[in-house]
A and B are shown apart, each in its own frame.
Chain A
Amino acid sequence: MRSAVIALCLAAASAARADGAAPADRDPPRRRDASWAELYGGRFRSSRLFSMPVADVVGAYQISLGGDYSLLQETGVLSSAGALAVGFGDIAQLEYRHTAAISIGQTTAPVPAVGVQLKVPLPERRYLPSWAVAFRLGVPRRERFGAMSVDEAVTDLYLVARLRLGAVTLHGGARVSAARIDVVDDGPGFHADRRLVLPTVGAELAMTSEARLVAEIGLAPQFRFDPDAPATPRIHPGGLGRLGVRWFLHPALCVDASLGYQVEVAGAQAVDRPSAVVQWDIRLGGEVFVPWGALACRAVGIFCE
């Protein structure tokens, strides 16, 4: 059985096209005479799968803005997560993003964080993984329940690696999370914090020059607190998984669609199994890349090569 699965994976890899990246192989030119086709026909790199960071940065003089949304995870509530990344040089980026966590409402909560991601400047070699380190400083996310307010924050240190094997790209890493929850009410309130080591893995399979199948699975901090029966909150690891497609409509515009699995979500019972597919959700999102350096050069002649 295992050999059959391996053979199927290898066949899939060989059948898929090797080039899953943007069609051009160079960054958008920062020249005053660059055409729009040159500006937006260049190479754009994403620094994430769906929510997992990868060992890449968006690149110098570029901005990436992405997010995804679901109306299905908790009925009637639009859950969303977004990320804004600004490249600095070829190996660093500053970012503001909603890091993955599971809130006390049992949804995949967008807990905001600001951070920096550094790509280890090693030459790319066949069968040699690339590495990146990301630090995300958690910004408290506040929820109010009457007079009670609940602040959740997650600060992360990521170490991720990427290995390209033809059409297949493997990603793996670990996330050291310091999660904190503060409950403030008329009384003394409650507080809990915990440090967690959370593994995460992902894979990409380039199916065409514009589309990739993406799978990721990992653990995320999960907050537990019931505002109706206040007690000391708890923090546990919770599982998240996504399987979907990233489709580059254009080198600078990507559409994401995926189905997601979360161990416990809104309305779920205390212990749910993967067979509870009624708790899974479908997420739709995208990512757009802006070559701001090239645009500024073309418009006013600054940041030119």
Chain B
Amino acid sequence: MNRLLLAFLALAAIALPAAAQPLPPVPLPEPEPETAPSPSPSPAPSPAPSPAPSPAPSPAPSPSPSPIPSKPWSEPPPPPPSPEPEIGLPTVLASPTGRLLPAAIIYSRSSLDTSGGLASDLRVGLGDVAEFGVELTDLVRARESAAAAPHRLAPYLAATFKMGLAEHRLFTGQPALALGFRKSFEHEIDGRATRIAELYLVGTKRLGDSVELHGGGVFWDASIRDADGAGNGAAAEDFLHDHGVRRQLRGFGGLGLRALADAQILVDLYWVPEFCYECTDRQIRLKALLSWGVRYDITRSIKLDSGVRVPDITAADLLDAQIFGQVTFLHRGLRRAVDHLR
């Protein structure tokens, strides 16, 4: 009796610490296709093979207590939920990307800069193929005359509609493509009413795990109208499209480099119209906007960007450069509501 008790205690002394440890890697027999058929034609075996019908991996049939508890083998933990795919953001820093928001995902971005600019962008994904949004931009500027310093026209309210194709949709290697249109409401200040609109086609291509390239063309248009009749020699109304397609069409691009798992280095070049109230030849010109900075992924739904923006690189005026910060939120509540509705 004592021997039996001692043997039981010895077994318990071995089994209990073992049960408290992670399971040692026990060599399992290779799953045979006949006994464990996989619904997928993939030859790779499933990482979590069904335990019940599998051949006995250990001398489990023995009713005697085993140093390896059998419960974990008979009831494996449920597989972790598949991670949601990363959401590609619709803008680099200032320029658009070829990415589209997934259906019913709400995107909001708010930014401020050292020159007092405030901007906001709110969008929603439509059916995985389009997105619609409204924004307040602080990038549009105006100057009284060609010699005067430019000042910001803000808040400038605009609406955006963008549609496109996800990466690899048509064929392997196809970049993400998007056709976007943005148009502002009329902005009236200082007796001038201005509007802007842009139509762009942009592609985004991921190279490896850490590099993303963006490139495309933008077709700008804008108008300025003398709202109170004090034109001072300038035309009563001027349209950018009256000066030829060559003055409307520009190329742009961007680069994203994932330096760390949660941080990206971003650079982009974009174009923004600038108005000149008293210029007599052309009252609207496109100015090249260069931005660079870092995007830090605080969580999967919150991103923080910071960097430097040069509103007119042809002027080479670093005193005009701005340091900006912007925070982006991705909301999935509407997506869940739509899924629930279905």
Chain A residues at the B interface, C-beta cutoff of 8 Å? 8, 11-12, 15, 71-72, 75-76, 207-208, 210-211, 213, 243-245, 247-250, 255, 257-259, 267, 269, 272-273, 275-282, 284
CB distance from A135 to the nearest CB of B (A): 33
Q: Quick check: B161 and A259 within 8 Å, CB to CB? A: yes
Give chain A residues whose Cβ lies under 8 Å from the Cβ of B220. 277
Give chain A residues whose Cβ lies under 8 Å from the Cβ of B342. 250
Q: Quick check: A72 and B129 within 8 Å, CB to CB? A: no
CB distance from B46 to the nearest CB of A (A): 27
Give chain B residues whose Cβ lies under 8 Å from the Cβ of A75. 185-186, 195
Q: Identify the closest chain A residue to B220 (Cβ).
A: A277
Seed contacts A15-B170, A247-B127, A277-B197; 17 additional CB < 8 Å A-B pairs: A72-B159, A208-B128, A210-B127, A211-B126, A211-B128, A247-B129, A247-B130, A249-B338, A250-B341, A250-B342, A259-B181, A275-B221, A277-B220, A278-B183, A278-B196, A280-B183, A284-B132
* Residue tally, chain B, CB below 8 Å to A: 38
CA gap between A105 and B116 in the complex, in Å:
39
Kindly identify which residue among A71, A269, A275, A280 contacts B181, using a CB–CB cutoff of 8 Å. A280
Q: Identify the closest chain A residue to B342 (Cβ).
A: A250
CB distance from B294 to the nearest CB of A (A): 32
Q: Quick check: B241 and A11 within 8 Å, CB to CB? A: no
Question: Can you give 14 contacting A-B residue pairs, CB < 8 Å?
Answer: A72-B183, A75-B185, A75-B186, A207-B127, A210-B103, A213-B129, A243-B163, A248-B127, A276-B221, A276-B241, A277-B221, A278-B195, A278-B222, A284-B132
Q: Quick check: B221 and A245 within 8 Å, CB to CB? A: no
Kindly identify which residue among B163, B171, B219, B338 contacts A277, using a CB–CB cutoff of 8 Å. B219
CB distance from A83 to the nearest CB of B (A): 20
Give chain A residues whose Cβ lies under 8 Å from the Cβ of B126. 211, 245, 247, 255, 257
CA gap between A249 and B220 in the complex, in Å:
33
Q: Quick check: A277 and B129 within 8 Å, CB to CB? A: no
Kindly identify which residue among A243, A245, A281, A284 contacts B129, using a CB–CB cutoff of 8 Å. A245
Q: Quick check: A245 and B239 within 8 Å, CB to CB? A: no
CA gap between A249 and B338 in the complex, in Å:
7
Give chain B residues whose Cβ lies under 8 Å from the Cβ of A276. 221, 239, 241
CA gap between A276 and B197 in the complex, in Å:
9
Give chain A residues whose Cβ lies under 8 Å from the Cβ of B161. 244, 257-259, 282
Q: Quick check: B240 and A278 within 8 Å, CB to CB? A: yes
CB distance from A273 to the nearest CB of B (A): 7
In order of increasing CB-CB distance, the 9 nearest A-B pairs are: A211-B127, A247-B127, A75-B186, A278-B221, A245-B130, A278-B197, A277-B221, A259-B181, A207-B129
CA gap between A76 and B186 in the complex, in Å:
8
Q: Quick check: B163 and A281 within 8 Å, CB to CB? A: no
CB distance from A1 to the nearest CB of B (A): 17
